[in-house]
Amino acid sequence: MQFLSHGGIFQDWIFPHDCLKYIWPEITLNRAIDRQVCSITCCKAVEAHLVPLREAQWYSTNGMDHDRSAIPRLPIYGDCIVFPLREDVCKCFNGECFAIVPKLTPMGMQYVMNFLSTSAEEIWPKYHGSVALQLSEDSRPNLFARFAWATFTRANPWIGVGEYRTVFGRYQHLATKRLGYGRYKIKGTCENLQENGESKQMHERSE
pLDDT value at residue 180: 67
Percent of the chain with pLDDT over 70: 63
DSSP 43-67: SB-EEEESS-GGGHHHHHHTT----
Rounded to a whole number of angstroms, the distance between the first and last alpha carbons of the chain is: 14
pLDDT value at residue 66: 60
Q: Name the amino acid, one letter, at 89.
A: V
> Does the pLDDT of residue 42 top 80, yes or no?
yes
> What is the pTM (predicted TM-score) of this model?
0.71
Task: Say if residues 131 and 110 touch (Cβ distance below 8 Å).
Answer: yes
Task: Say if residues 150 and 142 touch (Cβ distance below 8 Å).
Answer: no
Q: How far is CA 200 from CA 8, 131, 135, 204, in A?
A: 20, 40, 40, 11
What is the CA angle 32-37-35, rounded to 5?
55
Among 15-24, 116-125, 174-183, where is mean pLDDT lowest?
174-183
> Does the pLDDT of residue 20 top 80, yes or no?
yes
Task: Give the residue from 181, 172, 178 showing the smallest Cα distance to 206.
Answer: 178
More confident residue, 191 or 54: 54
Q: Is the dihedral of CA 158, 161, 167, 173 positive or negative?
A: positive
pLDDT value at residue 156: 62
Q: Which of 69-83, 135-149, 172-186 has the highest mean pLDDT?
A: 135-149
- The per-residue pLDDT for range 121-162, each reduced to its tens digit, is 788 888 898 999 888 878 889 999 999 998 876 766 666 566
